[in-house]
Each structure stands twice: as C-alpha cells, then as structure tokens.
Chains A and B, each alone.
Chain A
Amino acid sequence: NAGVTQTPKFRVLKTGQSMTLLCAQDMNHEYMYWYRQDPGMGLRLIHYSVGEGTTAKGEVPDGYNVSRLKKQNFLLGLESAAPSQTSVYFCASIRSGTLLQETQYFGPGTRLLVL
C-alpha cells in the first residue's frame, strides 16, 4: 500500500514548455486534489476531483488543467509554463470527505522550477 505517490519528484522547465504531473493513489479514494505551496503562502488549492471523470476549479486554477480518467490517477497539466508556476506541488486524496475522522492524505510533493 503505497498511499499517494507523485511523479516526477523534481523537474526544471523553460518558459513556454509543457508538462504533466502525475498523482496516483491506491486507497480507492473518491476525492483527489492538487495544491501548490509557495514560501510564506501556505498551500493553495488548484483543482480537485470528486470522482472519476469529474474536475472542479479551486482557488488558483489559471494556467493549469487537470484530468481524472481513472479513479486512482489525477493529472495536472501545465500547457505553457511560466516562472510564476515555480512551486512545490502536492497531491492529496480522501475517501469521501464527509467524516471528521477521515484524513486527507498528501503525497511527497513535486518540486518544479520554471526558468
């Protein structure tokens, strides 16, 4: 049981390049999330999904797209990377998100540098 895994761990992009970050969970969770973490800013929600085939915008969605074709995977895409997207990206998942006892599990993060 690997929990939440993220690929890649670190990436350097040039401005204008595109890339896809992959999040995978093996806990059969319904809900998945992408956050970005910047120094002094906490974590901010980019997009999330409440089930296979669904996506919704979070607080800072501009410049990103997502897809949830399979329940266990949540992909975050950057079509044309900008230096402002330099950040650490965290994926998270939760089974149903409705119970106090539930835990939102976070992955180890992907560090992205856009030059």
Chain B
Amino acid sequence: QQQVKQSPQSLIVQKGGISIINCAYENTAFDYFPWYQQFPGKGPALLIAIRPDVSEKKEGRFTISFNKSAKQFSLHIMDSQPGDSATYFCAASITGGGADGLTFGKGTHLIIQP
C-alpha cells in the first residue's frame, strides 16, 4: 500500500516558468511533510518542509502548499531555472523531523528547458 502518491512522474518546464509537483497521503497520523531534491549520483537533500498546522511555507523560489482536509500537498518552484533540473521527492513522517523514518513518494523527474 503506497501511503504517499506523487505526480507527475516527469515534468518539462520552460526556463522562468512555474513547476508544480503534487502529493497525496493516506495516513492521517503523518505530521511532517518534507520535499527532497536529488541530483544524479547524489543522495537526496532537504529542500523545504512543513507541518500541517500551516497552509503554506515559502523559502526563496520554493513554496509548499498544504491542504489538510484534502490530504494533499504540493511543491511550487517559481522562476524555474535549468539548475533546478533534478528528481524531487515528497515524503511524510509521523514524528517531527522524521525520527521514525520517512515514507517517500516515487519521485518526479523535472527538466527545465533553457
């Protein structure tokens, strides 16, 4: 049973455009929702994270939007740049920063065309 569903699998966006990746979860006990960025041959790196007590969090060009009632959250990348081309994973955890481990979505391969 996949507890975190991520879409789309792949996404192509023009430079300067907005990239949007969506995730939906099933377990209402999840209390921590991070997004990770992964470049080829590297480990994932934390991009931004949110808890369900807020509906939006913004850090630079990256924004998480959170809809608790719909059990959905999304990542928006504004003014997308070629350097943003990577694989993005949403994740969820029951505890704080992920003490019991993270449940990941299957990933979105993002390509920003110059």
Please report A residues at the B interface, Cβ cutoff 8 Å. Answer: 4, 31, 33, 35, 40-45, 48, 50, 58-59, 90, 92, 94, 96-104, 106-109
Can you offer 23 A-B residue contacts whose CB atoms are under 8 A? A31-B99, A42-B107, A43-B44, A44-B104, A45-B103, A48-B100, A50-B99, A58-B101, A59-B101, A92-B43, A94-B98, A96-B96, A96-B97, A96-B99, A97-B98, A98-B97, A100-B32, A100-B97, A101-B97, A104-B98, A106-B45, A108-B41, A109-B42
A-B contact count (CB 8 A): 76
Give the CA-CA distance A92 to B44 in the complex, in Å: 9
A contact patch SS: loop
A31, chain B: closest CB distance, angstroms: 6
**Are the C-beta atoms of B96 and A106 separated by less than 8 Å?**
no
Residue in contact with B97 in the complex, picked from A43, A102, A107, CB distance below 8 Å: A102
**Are the C-beta atoms of B42 and A97 separated by less than 8 Å?**
no
Give the CA-CA distance A109 to B43 in the complex, in Å: 6
Closest to B2 in A: A42
